[in-house]
Amino acid sequence: MKTKQDQPRHFLSDAVKDNIDSVAAFYAREEAKITGTQSAIEKISCHFGSAVYFGGFILFVIFWIVANLSAARFGWSQFDPPPFIWLQGIVGLNGVLIAIAVLIRQNRMAQVEELRAHLNLQVNLLSEQKTTKVIQLLEELRQDSPGVRNRHDPEVDTMQMQTNPHAMLNAIEAQKVDKQES
């Protein structure tokens, strides 16, 4: 049995398809901005975060320790006797490389997220303006229609006022200051 999630794209409205295409185009533009070096670093970063890498690294460390501890039994010299200075260096270098790769990837992802948040803010502000205009038009239509009882609705009066984003930001900042002072 097919669910709505399984339905192909042709069952979607044109507006939804346009939105999906716009989001896909946004991500494609951001991916196109990635340099070859950035792409390589991000692939390495993804590899560092995989279960395969984790398991392989654990096995490498175990092998290193076992090989060094059992070398004397086979008549070999230990290449990194305890306290395993070379292994500590490898682990430290690995940690630094992972940290740098992850930070590089996170910085780019933060930039993409900032763009997406800005777009979301712009769409929300535009939606609010459109909704306010629709409420204003409906209120005018209600007042002009002879068959509709004329009444005063304070909630509609408030809702048809344009929202001032600057005033909202100031109120949010003031509330943050009040909480910090408490």
Tokens of 38: 């950035």
pTM: predicted TM-score of the whole model, two decimal places:
0.62
Average pLDDT in the 69-86 region?
92
Average pLDDT in the 19-28 region?
86
Of 4-8, 102-106, 139-143, 155-159, which gets the smallest average pLDDT?
Answer: 4-8
Confidence (pLDDT) at 4: 54
Kindly tell me if the per-residue pLDDT of 29 is higher than 70: yes
Q: Do 160 and 136 contact (CB within 8 A), yes or no?
A: yes
Position of tokens 């984003």? 165
Q: Quote the CA–CA distance of 6 and 94 in Å, as a whole number.
A: 43
Question: How would you class 97 by CB atoms within 10 Å of its CB: exposed for 0-12, middle for 13-18, buried for 19 or more?
Answer: middle
Question: What is the per-residue pLDDT across 86-119, written as a single tens digit (0 to 9) for each?
Answer: 999 999 999 999 999 999 999 999 999 998 898 8
> Domain residue spans in the chain?
12-48+83-181
Confidence (pLDDT) at 70: 94
Average pLDDT in the 75-88 region?
94
More confident residue, 7 or 58: 58
Question: How would you class 134 by CB atoms within 10 Å of its CB: exposed for 0-12, middle for 13-18, buried for 19 or more?
Answer: exposed
